[in-house]
Amino acid sequence: MSQTPELVVKDLHVSVEGKEILKGLSLEIGKGEIHAIMGPNGSGKSTFANTLMGHPKYEVTGGEILFKGESILELETDERARAGLFMAFQYPVAIPGLTFASFLRAALNARIAPATGEDGKVPTKKGIAPKEFRKLMFEKMALLKMDEKFAMRYLNDGFSGGEKKRAEILQMALLKPVIAIMDETDSGLDIDALRIVSEGVNALAGPEMGVLVITHYNRILNYIKPHKVHVMVDGRIVTSGGPEMALELEAKGYDWVREEVSQ
């Protein structure tokens, strides 16, 4: 696992419409590491994920987010994504009229191209050639057991829950982020879809990518084995442990954590 964490969150405080949601959250994730954040509903898990990606609804009122050693608090969402942060959404948006293949190629070109050229203007680089892109896309689709016809469907339009989540993992496979954030990716999946998505994540996770799995339930962690499990309650990470922590939470629920915190 990485010795130097790529993502460092220090004493993060975040408010939404004047209400404080995150109340001093700290976390470090390096390449090659799989971390899981678990917690009851309303503990701030999705707020944390959206804040990492720079969603304008979430106001950082204190603390710091460092990525590759530099603050990203002033960066827009697309700049964070281009730098190597990625989030698989809990509820991906459908865009009728835009084919999945076209979307993927545009996203990949944005990821690999610099934001501006040396003259300060947007570069004219055309990006990855169509033939090369198709070859790469179909390789990754095979990894996720996705039919090639899937590429010509409109983005998430009429997709099942499992198809939407596999589409998110395919984006991750193509974009090769430094840190991938999975916000309740297991939501709405049956066992077969959960297994296929998890196999895809396990195939992609490695020495060049760190993964943060945010989940309410333990079941996805039966397939994706985390190195560390963190428990979030009331906007803070209150305890951390190894993979066995997830099993303890499944057996005992969250009440014992709340009791420890209140003591």
What is the secondary structure of 62-130 as a DSSP string?
EEEEEETTEE-TTS-HHHHHHHTEEEE-SSPPPEEEEEHHHHHHHHHHHHHS-SS-TTSSPP----S-H
pTM: 0.88
Task: State the Cα–Cα distance between residues 139 and 212, nearest whole angstrom.
Answer: 24
pLDDT over 90 at 260, yes or no: no
Over residues 178-202, the mean pLDDT reads 85
Determine the Cα angle at 21 with ends 14 and 186, to 5°: 105
Confidence at residue 50, expressed as pLDDT on a 0 to 100 scale: 95
- The Cβ of residue 76 has, within 10 Å, a number of other Cβ atoms equal to 12
What is the secondary structure of 113-166 as a DSSP string?
S-SS-TTSSPP----S-HHHHHHHHHHHHHHTT--GGGGGSEETTT--HHHHHH
Q: What is the pLDDT of residues 171-184, one digit of tens each?
A: 999 999 999 999 88
- The Cβ of residue 195 has, within 10 Å, a number of other Cβ atoms equal to 14
Q: Is 246 helix (H, G, I), strand (E, B) or coil?
A: helix
Mean pLDDT of the chain: 88
pLDDT over 80 at 262, yes or no: no
Task: State the Cα–Cα distance between residues 123 and 107, nearest whole angstrom.
Answer: 15
Domains and CATH numbers, the chain: 7-262 (3.40.50.300)
197 sits in which H/E element? helix 191-204
Q: What is the pLDDT of residues 44-75, one digit of tens each?
A: 999 999 999 999 999 999 999 999 999 999 99
pLDDT over 50 at 161, yes or no: yes
